[in-house]
Amino acid sequence: MTDADYMDQALHEAEDALARGDWPVGSVLVRDGVVLATGQNRQNTESDVTWHAEFEALRRATREHGAAMLAGATVYSTMEPCPMCAGAMKLAGIARLVLGARHATLRRTDLGTYSIETFCRMAGYDLALTTGVASASARSSAAAGAKIPFAHPSASVATCRSDAQGDCTPGIRRAE
C-alpha cells in the first residue's frame, strides 16, 4: 500500500466522523506495512475534548498491540495533529507523520500560529513529515464539494519547510 492508500483510509474515517456529527478528522497508524489501528474524532458524540482521531488510534494500537509496537510507526492524519496529539505521538515514539490538511490552510485561529514544525522545534521531536499526499477519494470528494479536510490534489509530496540552504527546519527531518 502507498501513502495515498493509507490517507484514503484516514479520509474514510473522517467521513464516518462527520456523518456521526463529529469533526471530520481521521487517522491511521501503520508500522511495517501493517495497520495497527484507526481513529476518528469523537469530541461531540463522546462529550470529550480529548477524543481526537490521532489519540484514538494511539490508544487502540497500544491496547491491541502494546506500547512498544508504536515506536517507529507512521501516523496518517487528515488534519494537522494538535499539540496534545503531537505530544502523545512524541511520547509513543511515532517516527513519521503523513499529513493532510494544515490548520493554517483551513484558516483555523483557535491554535494561533501553531504548526507541527513549531511543536517539533519546541519539544525536540525528530519527526519525519510528509505533506501533500492526496488520495483518489480526496480528489473526488473535492470535486464533489465535500467539506472534508484533505491534501490539495495538485500538491506534490513535500517533506518539510527548509531554509535557503535546503536544510530542514530544526526538529523536522526530511521523510524518505
Q: Which three cell numbers stand for residue 38?
A: 484507526
Asked whether 108 and 82 are in contact (CB, 8 A), the reply is no
- Provide the annotated active-site residues: 54
Whole-angstrom distance, CA of residue 64 vs CA of residue 58: 10
CA atoms of 42 and 54, how far apart (whole Å):
11
